[in-house]
Amino acid sequence: MTQEKATFAAGCFWGVESMFRRLDGVLDAAVGYTGGTTVDPTYEDICHGDTNHAEAVEVSFDPARISYEALLTAFWNCHNPTTRNRQGPDVGSQYRSAIFCHSPAQQTAAEASRDQHQLKLGTHHPVVTEIVAADTFYRAEEYHQRYLEKHGRGHC
Protein backbone atom coordinates (compact mmCIF):
# COMPACT_ATOMS: atom_id res chain seq x y z
CA MET A 1 0.00 0.00 0.00
CA THR A 2 1.22 3.46 -0.90
CA GLN A 3 0.80 6.20 1.66
CA GLU A 4 0.95 9.95 1.07
CA LYS A 5 0.60 12.98 3.31
CA ALA A 6 -1.49 16.11 2.93
CA THR A 7 -1.62 19.02 5.36
CA PHE A 8 -4.46 21.50 5.75
CA ALA A 9 -5.31 24.42 8.03
CA ALA A 10 -8.96 25.46 8.24
CA GLY A 11 -9.50 27.05 11.64
CA CYS A 12 -9.68 25.10 14.88
CA PHE A 13 -8.08 21.76 14.10
CA TRP A 14 -10.45 19.55 16.10
CA GLY A 15 -13.34 19.62 13.62
CA VAL A 16 -11.06 19.41 10.60
CA GLU A 17 -9.36 16.31 12.01
CA SER A 18 -12.72 14.67 12.73
CA MET A 19 -13.98 15.36 9.21
CA PHE A 20 -10.89 13.92 7.51
CA ARG A 21 -10.92 10.82 9.73
CA ARG A 22 -14.38 9.92 8.40
CA LEU A 23 -13.23 9.77 4.76
CA ASP A 24 -12.65 6.34 3.25
CA GLY A 25 -8.99 6.09 2.28
CA VAL A 26 -7.73 8.31 5.07
CA LEU A 27 -5.39 6.17 7.13
CA ASP A 28 -4.69 8.66 9.91
CA ALA A 29 -5.09 12.31 10.78
CA ALA A 30 -3.13 14.18 13.43
CA VAL A 31 -3.54 17.72 14.70
CA GLY A 32 -0.55 19.99 15.10
CA TYR A 33 1.18 23.20 14.20
CA THR A 34 2.98 24.20 11.01
CA GLY A 35 4.05 27.21 8.99
CA GLY A 36 5.64 29.15 11.82
CA THR A 37 8.98 30.21 13.19
CA THR A 38 9.24 28.57 16.62
CA VAL A 39 10.87 25.13 16.88
CA ASP A 40 8.71 22.54 18.65
CA PRO A 41 5.90 24.93 19.64
CA THR A 42 3.25 24.13 22.21
CA TYR A 43 -0.38 25.12 22.15
CA GLU A 44 0.43 27.87 24.63
CA ASP A 45 3.09 29.20 22.23
CA ILE A 46 0.80 29.39 19.21
CA CYS A 47 -2.50 30.38 20.80
CA HIS A 48 -1.53 34.06 20.88
CA GLY A 49 -0.62 34.07 17.18
CA ASP A 50 2.96 35.22 17.78
CA THR A 51 4.75 32.21 16.23
CA ASN A 52 2.97 32.38 12.84
CA HIS A 53 2.04 28.69 13.10
CA ALA A 54 -1.36 27.53 11.92
CA GLU A 55 -3.44 24.93 13.69
CA ALA A 56 -3.30 22.21 11.04
CA VAL A 57 -4.16 18.60 10.30
CA GLU A 58 -1.67 16.22 8.74
CA VAL A 59 -3.57 13.56 6.81
CA SER A 60 -2.04 10.22 5.85
CA PHE A 61 -3.98 8.70 2.98
CA ASP A 62 -3.95 5.85 0.48
CA PRO A 63 -4.07 7.46 -2.99
CA ALA A 64 -5.48 4.22 -4.43
CA ARG A 65 -8.56 4.72 -2.24
CA ILE A 66 -8.93 8.49 -2.09
CA SER A 67 -7.39 11.13 -4.32
CA TYR A 68 -5.68 14.29 -3.22
CA GLU A 69 -8.35 16.14 -5.22
CA ALA A 70 -11.06 14.51 -3.06
CA LEU A 71 -9.23 15.70 0.05
CA LEU A 72 -9.13 19.20 -1.41
CA THR A 73 -12.89 19.10 -2.03
CA ALA A 74 -13.47 18.07 1.59
CA PHE A 75 -11.17 20.90 2.71
CA TRP A 76 -13.08 23.56 0.75
CA ASN A 77 -16.41 22.24 2.04
CA CYS A 78 -15.52 22.25 5.75
CA HIS A 79 -14.64 25.91 6.28
CA ASN A 80 -14.92 29.44 4.93
CA PRO A 81 -11.83 30.13 2.79
CA THR A 82 -12.81 33.77 2.29
CA THR A 83 -12.14 35.01 5.82
CA ARG A 84 -8.54 35.96 6.54
CA ASN A 85 -7.22 34.66 9.87
CA ARG A 86 -10.67 33.71 11.10
CA GLN A 87 -13.04 30.78 11.24
CA GLY A 88 -16.27 31.38 13.13
CA PRO A 89 -15.48 32.80 16.55
CA ASP A 90 -11.78 31.88 16.31
CA VAL A 91 -9.64 34.85 15.29
CA GLY A 92 -5.89 35.01 14.68
CA SER A 93 -3.29 33.88 12.16
CA GLN A 94 -3.24 30.44 13.81
CA TYR A 95 -6.78 29.93 12.41
CA ARG A 96 -5.96 30.86 8.83
CA SER A 97 -6.97 28.85 5.79
CA ALA A 98 -3.93 27.17 4.23
CA ILE A 99 -2.83 24.19 2.19
CA PHE A 100 0.70 22.97 2.88
CA CYS A 101 1.88 21.06 -0.20
CA HIS A 102 4.20 18.07 0.05
CA SER A 103 5.09 17.96 -3.66
CA PRO A 104 4.92 20.03 -6.85
CA ALA A 105 1.97 17.85 -7.95
CA GLN A 106 0.08 18.77 -4.78
CA GLN A 107 0.89 22.45 -5.37
CA THR A 108 -0.50 22.29 -8.91
CA ALA A 109 -3.62 20.42 -7.80
CA ALA A 110 -4.21 22.80 -4.88
CA GLU A 111 -3.91 25.88 -7.10
CA ALA A 112 -6.28 24.39 -9.71
CA SER A 113 -8.74 23.42 -6.99
CA ARG A 114 -8.59 26.91 -5.45
CA ASP A 115 -9.25 28.46 -8.85
CA GLN A 116 -12.27 26.19 -9.39
CA HIS A 117 -13.61 27.01 -5.94
CA GLN A 118 -13.14 30.73 -6.62
CA LEU A 119 -15.21 30.40 -9.79
CA LYS A 120 -18.04 28.88 -7.74
CA LEU A 121 -17.90 31.71 -5.20
CA GLY A 122 -17.63 34.53 -7.71
CA THR A 123 -15.50 37.65 -7.51
CA HIS A 124 -17.33 39.21 -4.53
CA HIS A 125 -15.91 36.58 -2.17
CA PRO A 126 -12.17 36.20 -2.82
CA VAL A 127 -10.51 33.02 -1.55
CA VAL A 128 -7.68 33.97 0.84
CA THR A 129 -6.32 30.46 1.38
CA GLU A 130 -2.53 30.28 1.41
CA ILE A 131 -0.99 27.57 -0.75
CA VAL A 132 2.60 27.00 0.31
CA ALA A 133 5.22 24.29 0.55
CA ALA A 134 4.84 22.02 3.57
CA ASP A 135 7.05 22.93 6.48
CA THR A 136 7.89 20.98 9.62
CA PHE A 137 4.71 19.63 11.20
CA TYR A 138 4.77 19.60 14.98
CA ARG A 139 2.25 17.16 16.42
CA ALA A 140 0.04 18.82 19.02
CA GLU A 141 -0.18 17.65 22.59
CA GLU A 142 -1.95 14.32 23.08
CA TYR A 143 -5.04 15.88 24.68
CA HIS A 144 -5.74 17.61 21.33
CA GLN A 145 -5.60 14.38 19.28
CA ARG A 146 -9.09 13.03 18.48
CA TYR A 147 -10.47 15.68 20.80
CA LEU A 148 -14.04 15.65 19.49
CA GLU A 149 -14.09 11.85 19.43
CA LYS A 150 -12.98 11.76 23.08
CA HIS A 151 -15.43 14.45 24.18
CA GLY A 152 -18.47 13.57 22.06
CA ARG A 153 -18.87 16.95 20.43
CA GLY A 154 -19.88 17.94 16.91
CA HIS A 155 -17.53 18.31 13.98
CA CYS A 156 -16.82 20.30 10.85
Average pLDDT over the chain, rounded to an integer: 93
Question: What pLDDT does 48 receive?
Answer: 80
Whether 151 shows a pLDDT value over 90: the answer reads no
| DSSP H stretches of helix in the chain | 13-21, 43-46, 68-77, 104-121, 147-151
Residue 147 contacts residue 14 (beta carbons within 8 Å)? yes
| Distance from C-alpha of 1 to C-alpha of 62, rounded to nearest angstrom | 7
Catalytic annotation present for 47: no
Catalytic residue among 12, 78, 101, 156: 12
| Distance from C-alpha of 77 to C-alpha of 24, rounded to nearest angstrom | 16
Question: What pLDDT does 106 receive?
Answer: 98
Q: What is the pTM of this model?
A: 0.94
Per-residue pLDDT tens over the stretch 65-117 = 999 999 999 999 999 999 999 998 889 999 999 999 999 999 999 999 999 99
Q: Which domains does the chain have, with CATH numbers?
A: 4-151 (3.30.1060.10)
